[in-house]
């Protein structure tokens, strides 16, 4: 089927979601919003739809996340579909179904955010107070910022669509912006979100602190070390609400969710909203397919008591003595998707400090992560040694999360670590369906 525009024709509407207590945490099932946003109830439904887009199986539910870790060096593919092996081989083709699904899902999420940003401010309803308007619009700006951040680091420059899509042809002819311009849109949206959101704690919805955490990651990618450190500090200093938990598995084991380790995670209820990740990771005896699994190198790292420590909880053996990933394990599939964790901010701050030659404090941040994992402190004494130690720590700390590929690409080490010497392969191809549906789109070089 031809895919029209970048969002697969969301046609006239924000496709929205539903569930009784989502405004506390939980997203709802999708319903049509033919009446658009006209009052408090429809505004609430619209912002639920934004989060539902983020949670979808083709975005943070499975497909987009899989790009981040299948493209690294921790995971093996045990199935037969060659399109998954393309990520592991670092040779992704433009007709790859995973990149097509992720692209569509991200733009669908952007369109839902655009609807909230454009329409909520104009609603006249005494029950929709200015504080609620600010909250909903701020959340939409945050999610749009995250969406464009993910597009920029995966595909480079992309079409910047900041108004709601009404007709399928609305976005035809919008050329790709540069990667720098796309990242600039991310920062613009984060700056717009920050003053609209409150300085509260919510693990499942965007707050000002969630914005600070994503800004820290954004500035790390931009090599703006002082800013990356500054925004990591803003969250880490709230030690009452954001902390490293012991043992490592405390943030996900025993059905844990919304712990102090989490800055932002996606809620799934396991019935109307399901995280399909567990089916890919769990073995057949647990009702999964184990189609991707930790490779031998990662298993060795995680089970090395001086490297993995308590992070060995990320893997387990099935009844056939095969290793499988155990971050997503719940049945029914209600595992959260972890987007921003406290541990990431400590490692961002460690890297940012090391890059600024603040070796003592950078090493201290790294060793907090190592201590939490139950391993001895690093003694890295030079800038290069510390940066390498941080890189290696990130590999095991986020072993089953979508960081490894992006980490190695952003640090310019893809040739050394992945043997990827063609710089064109550091960005993925624009999905072929998008090129066919809009002739103004240009493919990335080398594809």
Q: What is the pLDDT confidence band of residue 407, given thresholds at 50, 70 and 90?
A: very high
Instruction: State the CATH class of domain 1-197+414-438.
Output: mainly alpha
Angle at 337 between CA 331 and CA 338, to 5 degrees: 135
Burial of 127 (0-12, 13-18, 19+ CB in 10 A): exposed
According to DSSP, residue 170 is labeled: T
Percent of the chain with pLDDT over 90: 89
Average pLDDT over residues 71-81: 91
Domain boundaries, the chain: 1-197+414-438, 224-264+297-325+340-401
Residues 300-351 pLDDT 10s = 999 999 999 999 999 999 999 999 999 999 999 999 999 999 999 999 999 9
Ramachandran category for residue 231: left, alpha or beta (phi over 0 → left; psi -120 to 50 → alpha) = alpha
Instruction: Annotate 392-401 with b (16+ C-beta within 10 A) or e (fewer).
Output: ebbbbbbbbb
CA distance 92 to 387: 29
Give the global pTM. 0.92
Give the helix/strand (H/E) hosting 106: helix 97-119
Residues 359-374 pLDDT 10s = 999 999 999 999 999 9
**Alpha-helical runs (H) found in 39-81:** 40-55, 63-70
């Amino acid at each position: 089927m031809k895919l029209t525009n970048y969002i697969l024709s969301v046609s006239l509407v924000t496709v929205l979601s539903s569930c009784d207590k989502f405004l506390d945490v939980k997203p709802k099932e999708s319903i049509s919003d033919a009446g658009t946003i006209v009052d408090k109830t429809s505004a609430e439904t619209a912002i639920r739809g934004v989060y539902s887009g983020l949670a979808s199986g083709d975005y943070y539910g499975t497909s987009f996340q899989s790009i981040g870790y299948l493209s690294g060096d921790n995971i093996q593919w045990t199935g037969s579909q060659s399109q998954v092996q393309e990520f592991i081989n670092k040779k992704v083709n433009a007709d790859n179904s995973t990149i097509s699904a992720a692209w569509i899902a991200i733009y669908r999420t952007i369109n839902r955010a655009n609807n909230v940003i454009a329409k909520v401010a104009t609603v006249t309803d005494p029950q929709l107070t200015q504080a609620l308007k600010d909250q909903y619009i701020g959340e939409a700006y945050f999610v749009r910022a995250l969406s464009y951040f993910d597009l920029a680091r995966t595909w480079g420059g992309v079409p910047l669509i900041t108004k709601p899509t009404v007709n399928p042809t609305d976005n035809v002819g919008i050329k790709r912006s540069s990667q720098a311009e796309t990242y600039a849109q991310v920062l613009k949206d984060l700056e717009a979100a920050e003053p609209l959101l409150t300085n509260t704690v919510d693990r499942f919805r965007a707050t000002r602190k969630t914005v600070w955490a994503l800004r820290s990651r954004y500035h790390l990618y931009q090599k703006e070390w002082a800013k990356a450190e500054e925004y990591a500090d803003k969250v880490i200093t709230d030690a009452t609400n954001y902390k490293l938990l012991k043992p490592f598995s405390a943030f996900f084991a025993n059905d844990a969710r919304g712990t102090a380790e989490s800055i932002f995670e996606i809620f799934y209820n396991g019935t109307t909203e399901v995280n399909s990740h567990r089916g890919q990771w769990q073995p057949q005896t647990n009702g999964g397919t184990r189609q991707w699994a930790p490779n031998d190198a990662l298993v060795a790292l995680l089970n090395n008591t001086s490297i993995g420590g308590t992070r060995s909880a990320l893997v387990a053996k099935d009844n056939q003595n095969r290793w499988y990933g155990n971050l997503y394990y719940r049945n029914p599939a209600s595992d959260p998707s972890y987007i921003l964790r406290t541990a990431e901010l400590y490692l961002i701050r460690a890297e940012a400090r090391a890059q600024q030659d603040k070796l003592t404090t950078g090493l201290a941040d790294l060793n907090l992560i190592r201590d939490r994992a139950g391993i001895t402190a690093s003694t890295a004494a030079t800038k290069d040694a510390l940066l390498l130690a941080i890189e290696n720590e990130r590999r095991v700390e986020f072993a089953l999360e979508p960081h490894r590929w992006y980490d190695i690409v952003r640090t310019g080490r893809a040739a050394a670590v992945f043997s990827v010497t063609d710089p064109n392969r550091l960005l993925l191809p624009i999905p072929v369906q998008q090129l066919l549906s809009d002739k103004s789109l240009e493919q990335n070089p080398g594809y």
